[in-house]
Structures are given as C-alpha cells and as structure tokens.
Amino acid sequence: MTRRIVTNMSLSLDGRYAQPENPVDMSWVIPYAVTDVARDHLTNLWQPATTALLGRVNAEGFLGYWPTVIGAEGADPRDEGFAKWLVDAEKVVLSSTLDNAPWERTTVVDKPAAEVAADLRATDGGDIVVFSSASVIKALLAADQVDRLALMVFPVFLGGGPRLFDDGLPPGKWSLTSQAAGEHGTLSLVYDRIR
C-alpha cells in the first residue's frame, strides 16, 4: 500500500494562514487551537502517521515548543500525545540552510518538496504528515501530491496575508471525509483527493 501524503493547515475564514504584518505570529490561532475539536483533529492526523515532513521555520517552531509539553503540569493528554509522537517520529526537514539537524530522528534534505514526498512514498511506513508548513503544502498541492487535505477553519478575518490556495493549482476533485464543529465556531474539515 502506498503511503499517503497528509497536509494540515489552520486558516482564517477569509482564507489566510498568517497575518499580513507578522507572518510568524500565530497568536490568532491560540484561542481555537485549544478547543476539543482542534485537539481531536490533530490526534486523528498524527495517530496513523509515522513521518513528519516539515519546512525549516516550522520545524524550529514545532520542535522548540512541543517537547516542552511532555510532562507539563495540566497538559491536555491529546497535546502530550502529539508531543511524544513528534519527538519519536521520523522527521524530514526541508532546508537549504541547515547542514544537520539539531533534533533526534531528523533528516535534513535540500530537495524540492514534491521529490522528497515521492521518495518517502516509496518507503515503508504510515502516513507522511505535513503540519502547518505553508511552503511545503503549497509545493505539494501544486504538484498534485496531496492525498488528504486537513483544514482547521477559525472564525476570524485576518484582512490580508498569504493564502494557502494560489491560482494555477491543478484542477481536481476532493471528497469530504470528516467534519466537526466546535467551540467558538471552530471547524475541522478533512478531504481526500479523488484520483
């Protein structure tokens, strides 16, 4: 069985994944990311996965933060589960600037995302999941390499900033696999590519 490429991104209601003035400030996500629907959404993505595919900036953020959740007082068990999975999973970081990875079980690769995804598909393992690495997800969408597209939609307008879905993506149909709504109007949407 071929491994699936699964991507996950948080989007504002106006289709943005980052604020225009400060793209690394994700404070707009925080009130929604701690909802039950968001935590369950994330859990459903990492449980069948064995590999995380990340861009360098995202890897630095994720791998700087998530290990600190393990054993933290009052940590939600789903957050702690994801943190442990992330530490233990195979990680592939796309970077043209890193020579070696400062994280365990991590390989740094300086190749196009679609090529790396194709290489990973040819190996054994579970899902290959891309968490919030916009540049990686955009490249994989452009190459029609995404098998499962997971989105968390938060009821806020950012009023500008980068969009996930650029013009010129290859046409294709998707099937809604799961949906859930939660506190504050948070939506979890998961689509599978129809091939």
CATH number, domain with residue 152:
3.40.430.10
Helix, strand, or coil here: 26?
A: coil
- Mean pLDDT per block of 10 residues along the chain (195 residues) reads 93 94 86 93 97 92 89 95 95 91 90 96 96 95 97 96 94 97 94 97
In a domain? residue 15: yes
Task: Specify if 78 maps to a domain.
Answer: yes
Number of domains comprising the chain: 1
Which residues form the domain of 61? Answer: 5-169
100, part of any domain:
yes
Does residue 192 sit within a domain? no
Q: What is the pLDDT of residue 109?
A: 95
Map the chain to HEC letters. CCCCEEEEEEEECCCECCCCCCCCCCCCCHHHHCCHHHHHHHHHHHCCEEEEEEEHHHHHHHHHHHHHHCCCCCCCHHHHHHHHHHHHCEEEEECCCCCCCCCCCEEEECCCHHHHHHHHHCCCCCEEEEECCHHHHHHHHHCCCCCEEEEEEECCCCCCCCECCCCCCCCCEEEEEEEEECHHHCEEEEEEEEC
pLDDT of residue 24: 79
Is residue 89, in this structure, part of any structural domain at all? yes
Query: Which residue's entry shows tokens 């990686």?
Result: 136
